[in-house]
Amino acid sequence: MTGLVSRFALVALLAVSACDDKPPAKPAPANTVQKAPVPTVAAPPVSAAASPLGQAINAAAFDPAAVDPQARRNTLIRVQTLLDRAHFSPGVIDGRDGGNLKLAIQAFQKAHDLPTDGEISQALLAALAAADNGPVLVDYTITQSDVAGPFTPQLPKEDYEAMAREPAMNYHDIVEMLAERFHMDEALLRELNPGANFNQAGATIMVTAAGADTLPAKVDRIEIDKTLGQVRAFDETGAQVAVYPATVGSTERPAPSGEWAVRTLAPRPTYTYDPSRLTFGKPKEKLTIKAGPNNPVGSTWIDLTKDTYGIHGTPDPKLVNKRASHGCVRLTNWDATELGSAVKKGAKVIFMGTEARPA
């Protein structure tokens, strides 16, 4: 179980900006002829997405006879990104096969009356492209604000005492920040941009054109499937609006069963470690860890009427549905933010199925 979260205390996001004002030009001496300035032509920006790799991924198709592993990887990146934009989240976009991708494909197939085998096919790609055929890789120019951070040093996992001493639980570095912004695995971000200086403002990099972290309708009901490790969101008409992979409970701290409800929402939550109520960790005293994406409950906390339980983000998105939680429902930060932006107070939350500890 993830502990108690302050439900109403929100921590303001610090915006860091920089500017470089040039000194005023000196006036020309009297009785001199001023020369017209020589016009300068800015070099055209280098398009990363127009590179051979970017073009290959944007045009990736299904070929059952393909033996080139890079061609398969290109298709996986395209499928994952299009699923993400369609609100059938594969979790982290990493260009790899896995259980979360299979679950996302199955959910999309079911919603579009396709055979629910969880496999990539021409029919799947055609259905995804029919809804959204935009490029899956685009250019992004790193800004001075990106470079400035602020960033928080990486700390040992579950060292709650060290975390409590930090003024905020920010990203560790710019690569982690950019990867999460575009729903990507850090390794994929580096792979797509070999030799890139991510700390150089003005540099152009290639990123996935992921979803916008908003849903098309308000969420009135949430189903938490403990067997699959999946969260499904529905609007007031009963239409499914989103599907997310999730880590649900653990053997030691199983998630609850039955029907509960959303009590409140806390964007940028603090995290309270209370040893009198928790069975994990070493601290002997109550600790409060400040807000930030690397907070133990991530960027968003959706508080449930089941006391001390919630749906929340995580500092380790690639481990969602691969490692047990301490009892709550863990999503990637971006999926938790998306769900939190649309869920209604009082929305039904139904835990179903038999809990299975992720492998």
In this structure, the dihedral spanned by the alpha carbons of residues 309, 312, 316 and 322, taken in order and rounded to 10 degrees, is 60
Segment 276-319, tens digit of pLDDT: 665 555 656 888 999 999 999 999 999 999 988 999 999 999 99
Residue 341 near residue 306 (C-beta atoms within 8 A): no
CA distance 7 to 10: 8
Q: 206 or 33: whose pLDDT is higher?
A: 206
Maximum average pLDDT range among 26-30, 101-105, 282-286, 307-311: 101-105
Q: What are residue 139's DSSP bridge partners?
A: 206
Is the pLDDT assigned to residue 134 strictly greater than 50?
A: yes
Residue 223 phi, psi dihedral angles, 5° rounding: -105, 130
For the chain, give the mean pLDDT: 85
Is the pLDDT assigned to residue 20 strictly greater than 90?
A: no
CA distance 3 to 354: 23
Residues 6+ apart with CB under 8 A from 21: none
CA distance 173 to 67: 37
Lowest mean pLDDT among 84-93, 107-116, 322-331: 322-331
219-352: CATH superfamily: L,D-transpeptidase catalytic domain-like (2.40.440.10)
CA distance 179 to 71: 22
- Catalytic annotation, residues: 312, 328
Segment 243-265, tens digit of pLDDT: 999 999 766 677 889 999 999 99
User: pTM to 2 decimals?
Assistant: 0.84
Is the pLDDT assigned to residue 12 strictly greater than 70?
A: no
Of the pLDDT bands very low, low, confident and very high (cuts 50, 70, 90), residue 138 is very high
Residue 255 near residue 226 (C-beta atoms within 8 A): yes
Task: State the pLDDT at residue 283.
Answer: 58
In this structure, the dihedral spanned by the alpha carbons of residues 85, 89, 90 and 93, taken in order and rounded to 10 degrees, is 50
Segment 176-203, tens digit of pLDDT: 999 999 999 999 999 999 999 999 999 9
E-strand stretches of 176-283: 204-208, 219-225, 230-234, 240-245, 247-248, 258-267, 271-273
Segment 195-230, tens digit of pLDDT: 999 999 999 999 999 988 999 999 999 999 999 999
Range 269-273 average pLDDT: 89
- DSSP conformation letters of 67-124: --HHHHHHHHHHHHHHHHHTTB--SSB-S---HHHHHHHHHHHHHTT---S----HHH
Segment 161-178, tens digit of pLDDT: 999 999 999 999 999 999
Is the pLDDT assigned to residue 359 strictly greater than 60?
A: no
User: How would you class 95 by CB atoms within 10 Å of its CB: exposed for 0-12, middle for 13-18, buried for 19 or more?
Assistant: buried
Lowest mean pLDDT among 113-117, 300-304, 325-329: 325-329
Task: State the pLDDT at residue 40.
Answer: 36
Is the pLDDT assigned to residue 349 strictly greater than 60?
A: yes
Is the pLDDT assigned to residue 325 strictly greater than 80?
A: no
The percent of residues in the chain predicted with pLDDT above 70, rounded, is: 81
CA distance 323 to 224: 16
- DSSP conformation letters of 26-53: PPPPTT-PPPPPPP--PPPPP-STTSHH
Residue 16 near residue 201 (C-beta atoms within 8 A): no
Task: State the pLDDT at residue 24.
Answer: 32
- For the chain, the 3-state helix, strand and coil shares in percent, each to the nearest 5, are 25, 20, 55
